[in-house]
Structure 1
């Protein structure tokens, strides 16, 4: 039986539907550490146990309904030092606000390369529908992502199904808490047995300290045998606007 798509753990995030505004840039650092993970070398892929992943994400707004993101994946581990893992590019479009849909909707597609020592599937492609909605203090987001290996052993797996879900609640204007769920169920036409699925459940908090900043912290549990057992993650992001501010006397 073919293996599942490799568990990345480089950019652990449930996307909201909004895109980066035109003439502005979002710079994010994704920091993820595997407390208890895979401890053996499998098919030439390094074990994930005690790996620290640092991912730089730069997203440029194109207009009011589109953006392009670029990722640089790195890994730090005892005995191997700090290693470059790969790069991805991610264009995204959203349903314009002027359409007045009852939910936010956008669509991203992501393609990129990762070194074989970190993922046997060196070239991959993803298409990610994004649906979200705020109701009072509650926030809901669903990302039913589809994945395809372009080069590697999982080519024969076909289209994989990797959904992500977030439910959040604003306790105050600054502090939000919630649950994020990530999974890889295997082929969309032949869902893998539960034992072989990759699933992660994160308890998270978002700190809304300023519209310019994005801060997300979480601790995650992998309940299935195919998933790293314990992880912690953090996202630190900063918006930069390139619009000239008018000066009035």
Structure 2
């Protein structure tokens, strides 16, 4: 079982990294673990576009405030507020998102863990002209000191002029290892191909490689930072990310 899990995870990561529109908001590869029952997690996300490339998003700040609450060992509810701040203007509210998450399998020495996240977006008209639902599968397994995570992501527009569009596919994947007692480092891949049945030409896709460092300050507080480097024409060239997480 463990060998099968290893083959599936490694094969999927290789496939996705070679795959030919993932928004550059909140670069994060999720693991199976969620807050414990009765526990709340507050997260502040911040991305800063240092060099926006063709999209000319230089100087753009993206902010997200997230609150999650686990009402059982398997189920979690959450809400997000997204904001943007350009160098030309002031902070603007972009959208609300609502989360339902369930853990199906715990990570174990003999096999991969599995969880699902369903997120529904309610954007402001200036930010995006349609609502959408996102379903993210979360696979996670340990191989010695190495932690491997894979998040296939399926998105569907539920309103707007293009509501008849089919499923879109995106991905997030990462490999991590400890480098100090409370610090881990890793490398992540993020991106997407657009609609599955009519995928975007490779130059129009957005793909990123993201080195990351995570510091577990104490049992409640952790901080993750990274630098996203876009390697397709439509991707932002260089984006800094920061995630502060606190559980209580």
TM-score by length of 1: 0.85
> 1:80, CA displacement in angstroms?
1.9
Matched, 1:168 2:176: yes
Aligned-residue Cα RMSD (Å) equals 2.0
> 1:69, CA displacement in angstroms?
1.3
Task: After superposition, give the CA deviation of every residue in 1:173-222 in whole Å (9 maximum; x if it has no partner).
Answer: 21211111111111112332211111111110011222211211000111
Task: After superposition, give the CA deviation of every residue in 1:99-148 in whole Å (9 maximum; x if it has no partner).
Answer: 9971110011110112232234x311100010001222211000001011
Unaligned runs of 5+ in 2: 1-20
Instruction: Name the CA distance, whole Å, in 1 between partners of 2:222 and 2:77.
Output: 18
Relative to its length, the structure with more helix (as a share) is 2
> 1:27, CA displacement in angstroms?
0.2
Matched, 1:178 2:186: yes
For the 8 Å contact 2:54–2:234, the answer to whether it is kept is no
2:65 maps to what in 1?
56
For the 8 Å contact 1:39–1:49, the answer to whether it is kept is no
Unaligned runs of 5+ in 1: 41-46, 241-249
Name which one, 1 or 2, has greater alpha-carbon Rg: 1
> 1:24, CA displacement in angstroms?
0.7
1:244 maps to what in 2?
none
2:46 maps to what in 1?
31
Write the mapping of 1:1-249 to structure 2, written as runs, cut at 5 A.
5=21, 7-37=22-52, 48-97=57-106, 102-120=111-129, 122-152=130-160, 154-240=162-248
Instruction: Name the CA distance, whole Å, in 2 between partners of 1:196 and 1:135.
Output: 35
For the 8 Å contact 1:174–1:208, the answer to whether it is kept is yes
Instruction: Name the CA distance, whole Å, in 2 between partners of 1:90 and 1:203.
Output: 27
1:43 maps to what in 2?
none
Change (3 A) 1:176 1:100: closer
Change (3 A) 1:118 1:67: same
2:11 maps to what in 1?
none
TM-score by length of 2: 0.85
